[in-house]
Every structure is written in C-alpha cells, then in structure tokens.
Amino acid sequence: MKLFVWLLVLLNVGLLAYFNMDLIAPKTASVDHSIQPEKLKILDESALAKIQTKKAQPVIDPAASTAQVNVQTTAQVAAPTPTSCYTWGNFTKTNLPSAQVVLVRLGLQSVINQEAVAQEDKRFWVYYPPLKSAALAQKKAAEIKALGITELFIVQDSQWRNAISFGLFQDEQLATNLLTELQAKGIKGAAKGLHNPGKSLTSLLIKAVSIEAITELQKVKPEFVGTELVSTACP
C-alpha cells in the first residue's frame, strides 16, 4: 500500500516538472548569424533627418500621373480656336492673285465674289496714300513736283483726304505705265488701285479665320491700298 502511494507521488512530481520545464530550465536564446556586427553603423542626426525626409515624401502612382496628363491633353484638344469669316476687297485683276498668295501662305481658304460692273465705271487710279495732315500733304506734293511730276492734286474728300492723285485711267495698262514712271523718278510709296466709289469689283470671302490669322492679315493689308477687310457672317 505504501509503495502505491509513493508511486503516485513520484508520478505527480514528474508531471509537474514536465509541464513547468520552461520555468525550471529556460531555453537558450538563438543567435541570428545573418547579422554582422562589424558592418553596423551608428547614425548621426543628419542621417536620421534624411531617412525621415524620404519617408515623408508622397508615393506617386505612375498610372494616376499618366491619367492626369491624358485628361489635360484632351482638355487642350477639345478647346478649338475661335474662328469667323471676313470679306476682303476691292481687287483688280492684277493685285487679286497677290492677295490669294498671301491667304495661302497664312493657311486660309477663300472664295471669290465678283459683281458685274459696267466697263465704263471702272477707273484705275494712281496715287500717293493719304498723309496725316494737310501740311504734310503739301510738303510731299512739293517734293514730287521738284522731281518733274507736275500733274497732281491733293484729294479733299473724307475717305481719301490728303492723298495725292496722279490720274485716273480706264485702261489699266496706262495706269501701270504711269506708276512705273513715278517709281523710276524715285517716288517711293506711290500705288495703283481701282477707283470705283460705292461699288465692289472683286472681293474674297475668307472662311475659318482664327484670331492669330486675322492679326497677321491686318499687318499685310496696307500693301493692298484701297482694299477693306470687313468681318462678315459665315455662309
């Protein structure tokens, strides 16, 4: 009987020792051999600041960035330049081709509008463009007379006030000959145009004119004396 009791005691002690093995004999700490102490480096304040700065930088999603650029590009393409139409006239058969060349150079499309005007109403005018004042017109007329051109007069009507007229011709070739003579005598700035008050011989309907194009066209227009550039409704 005593032997049985002692066996129970020993069994209980053995079970108690087994379940409390961690307390009786703690496990030996494992060593991580991947860590190399000789390569460890103590960071100073500047190194720590750089690490914190990198962590603070936002992460950019390349896909989101590309999508944003695509949206901006689409918005730019979707906003066309405002356009309108203009009528440019009057032209003769000699200066019309030059005007059309200008429009082609500016990338503009044009349609010729031509009215039937009686031949007797057509006059080709050789003139010097209007001066800013009557005094300047008188001075220029005196300079021209000194060069041997005596047949001239200063225009007084409101549209061409202070211009200097050298003559009107039904035959365009005669007007061209006079202009050539004036230029040969050193009179720079003289011009030839169609003198047809209140009527339009030939005009150009210019379509899809952008703001940039009309600005360039306004710079060229003075080369075509007597012509007008007017905004009009697009057909």
Q: Which CATH class is domain 78-115+200-235?
A: alpha beta
Of 3.30.1490, 1.10.10, 3.30.70, 1.10.3470, which CATH number belongs to 118-198? 3.30.70
Q: Sign of the C-alpha dihedral, residues 186, 189, 192, 198?
A: negative
Q: Which of 29-43, 53-67, 136-150 has the highest mean pLDDT?
A: 136-150
pLDDT of 79 reads 45
211/84 Cα distance (integer angstroms): 9
The per-residue pLDDT for 123 is 79
Question: E-assigned strands of 93-187?
Answer: 109-114, 124-128, 153-154, 164-169
- CB neighbour list of residue 81: distance below 8 Å, 6 or more residues apart: 210, 211, 212
Q: What sign has the CA pseudo-torsion 22, 27, 29, 32?
A: negative
The residue written with tokens 């930088």 in the block is 57
Beta bridge partners of 36: none
Question: Tens of pLDDT along 176-210?
Answer: 999 999 999 999 899 998 776 545 468 899 988 88
Q: Work out the number of other CB atoms within 10 angstroms of the CB of residue 139.
A: 12
Which tops the pLDDT comparison, 41 or 217?
A: 217
The string over 108-136, giving b where at least 16 C-beta atoms fall within 10 Å of a residue's C-beta and e elsewhere, is: bebeeeeeeeeeeebbbbbbbebbeeeee
Q: Where are the domains of the chain?
A: 78-115+200-235, 118-198
Percent of the chain residues topping a pLDDT of 90: 26
For the segment 21-43, the average pLDDT, to the nearest whole number, is 55
| Encoded tokens for 15 | 């079970």
The per-residue pLDDT for 146 is: 93
Residue 80 has pLDDT above 50, yes or no: no
Comparing 6 with 31, the larger pLDDT belongs to 6
Could you tell me which of 233, 155, 232 has the C-alpha nearest to residue 197? 155
Mean per-residue pLDDT over the chain, rounded: 75
**pLDDT digits over 114-163, tens only?**
765 545 566 788 999 999 999 999 999 999 999 999 999 898 866 678 99
Residue 70 has pLDDT above 60, yes or no: no
Task: State residue 234's pLDDT score.
Answer: 86
Segment 13-29 shows an average pLDDT of: 59
Query: Which one-letter DSSP state was computed for residue 94?
Result: T
Average the pLDDT over each of 6-10, 175-179, 213-217 and give the range with the smallest value: 6-10
Give the pLDDT mean for 83-101: 82
Structure confidence at residue 78 (pLDDT):
42
Domain pair 78-115+200-235 / 118-198, same fold: yes
Burial class, 89, CB count within 10 angstroms (exposed 0-12 / middle 13-18 / buried 19+): buried
Percent of the chain residues past pLDDT 70, beyond the cut: 55
Residue 75 has pLDDT above 50, yes or no: no
